[in-house]
Amino acid sequence: MKKDANYYINKSIFVTATNTDVGKTYACEKFLKYFAKAGLKVGYFKPCETGVIDKPLDGSKMFELTKELNKHFENVTLNDVVPYQFRLPAAPYVASKDTIIDIEFLKEKKKYLQSFCDILIIEGAGGLMVPVKKDLFMIDLINIFDSSAFLITPSKLGCINDTLLSCEALKNKNIDFEFFINLFQDIDTFDEVSKPFLIDYFGELNFLQDL
């Protein structure tokens, strides 16, 4: 991680990814533990979770971890942490069906949760261009929540293209970000196939597994 943990005090970090199933929840777990170990009171927020049957699995797991790391989070509920829960495993715009996703309501929830912590980890859904509304995408929530971003990218073949496209999208929105590689796919060939370009292009790389 390029910046010292204290840089993020009283701030929020939006954890996003190049696509779905890249490891955002795993990344949130790593970041929550990393900042807690650095002495910060951590918080967690997942505005929308889809594919919910009985309860939001990702949100519930991170909520329980957050309460272990920050006793002040025992004052909030799972519905505070994951305010929109939809059954259909699809983009929030599609999964919400007749439900209107209220952005002002989400901003209030974010402000409320941030009052219990030094740093709030916000987990997005899918990749940057996943639609929340017809004309509003996951990437737009980063600026709406006045957050910086941690972009999670995979180690599989094709990660160069996915990483560069996502980095360009964040730059075009003037979003302050760092990116982290999740070493879980094609790890036996990553050093030969993808790492040479990535290290030459970016100079240094962050890996989730190093946190």
Q: List, by residue number, the catalytic residues.
A: 46
DSSP code for 83: -
Please name which of 89, 84, 136, 80 lies closest in space to residue 109, comparing C-alpha atoms.
80
Query: Which residues are annotated binding-site positions for substrate?
Result: 50
d(CA 114, CA 109): 8
Query: Which residues are annotated binding-site positions for ATP?
Result: 21-26, 58, 123-126, 209
Alpha helices for the chain (secondary structure H): 24-37, 57-69, 78-81, 92-95, 103-114, 138-144, 159-172, 190-193, 195-202
Query: Which residues are annotated binding-site positions?
Result: 21-26, 50, 58, 123-126, 209
Please list, in sequence order, all residues whose beta carbon lies within 8 angstroms of the beta carbon of residue 112, skipping any fewer than 6 positions away: 76, 80
Please name which of 130, 152, 123 lies closest in space to residue 62, comparing C-alpha atoms.
123
Query: Which residues are annotated binding-site positions for Mg(2+)?
Result: 25, 58, 123
